């Protein structure tokens, strides 16, 4: 089922957009793996699914179930639905179990679609998962999805791009006064790896973090 869905997404992307994937040489053999990507539009997760060679289970807000097409597509991938604004213990259990079994988990560390079209401050949820499961992280920088609807309304095919970065692990920490500060530092570390994959206009609050 998942392979058929990914093939369908690739066909639709080829028909409706100009899409490309860069950095495929950075892809690891598979999981366990945490995939992180910036969040610009409803089409980010489908683009990431199409770009990757193996199945990815996403974490998504239950609100998205009401979005036409996107909600149905995410459900077909076996997405882990999470409640907004609360500690969802069951969603966390599912995520950790998936990684323990060698799966690939996808998440947008900003926790929502960017309202600026550029990177916002990263949340600490992905940090907790990465530390708890002790898994490597694969960053994917996405551009163009925020312009797709406008381009289609003008009868143009938008240019979408997914840039796959190098796998990394969170660094060892020990110099922070609180766990909260430490986790935010880790969240910023993840976002900086995403910023490195994006053009300057997409780097947002992490613009000064990229050398």
Summarised one tens digit per residue, pLDDT across range 47-78 is 999 999 999 998 877 776 676 666 677 677 77
Classified as helix, coil or strand, 33 is strand
Identify which of 106, 110, 119 has the alpha carbon closest to the alpha carbon of residue 199.
119
CB count, 10 Å around CB of 8?
14
pLDDT 10s digits, 89-107: 888 899 999 999 999 999 9
Residue 158 structural domain: 2-209
pLDDT 10s digits, 7-38: 988 999 999 999 999 999 999 998 899 999 99
φ/ψ of 172, rounded to 5, equals -70, 140
Identify which of 147, 151, 133, 149 has the alpha carbon closest to the alpha carbon of residue 201.
147
Count of structural domains, the chain: 1
φ/ψ of 105, rounded to 5, equals -115, 130
CA angle, residues 174, 205, 70, in degrees to nearest 5: 100
Report whether pLDDT(151) > 70. Answer: yes
pLDDT 10s digits, 104-130: 999 999 988 899 999 999 998 899 999
Contact 204, 38 (CB under 8 A): no
Task: Please indicate whether residue 135 or residue 4 has the higher confidence score (pLDDT).
Answer: 135
Calpha distance 197→182 (Å, rounded): 24
CATH number for the domain harbouring residue 180:
3.40.1130.10
Classified as helix, coil or strand, 90 is helix
């Amino acid at each position: 089922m998942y392979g058929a869905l990914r093939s369908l997404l690739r066909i639709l992307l080829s028909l409706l957009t100009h899409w490309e994937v860069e950095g495929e040489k950075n892809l690891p053999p598979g999981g366990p793996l945490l995939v992180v990507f910036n969040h610009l539009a409803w089409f980010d997760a489908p683009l990431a699914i199409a770009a990757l060679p193996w199945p990815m289970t996403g974490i998504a807000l239950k609100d998205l179930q009401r979005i036409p097409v996107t909600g149905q597509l995410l459900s077909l991938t076996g997405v882990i639905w999470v409640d907004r604004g609360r500690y969802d213990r069951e969603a966390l259990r599912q995520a950790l179990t998936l990684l323990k079994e060698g799966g690939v988990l996808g998440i947008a560390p900003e926790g929502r679609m960017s309202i600026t079209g550029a990177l916002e401050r990263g949340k600490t949820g992905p940090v907790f998962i990465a530390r708890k499961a002790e898994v490597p992280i694969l960053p994917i920088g996405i551009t163009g999805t925020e312009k797709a609807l406008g381009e289609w309304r003008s009868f143009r095919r938008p240019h979408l791009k997914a840039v796959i970065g190098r796998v990394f692990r969170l660094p060892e920490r020990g110099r922070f006064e609180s766990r909260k500060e430490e986790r935010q530092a880790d969240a910023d570390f993840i976002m900086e790896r995403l910023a490195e994959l994006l053009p300057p206009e997409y780097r947002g609050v992490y613009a000064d973090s990229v050398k």
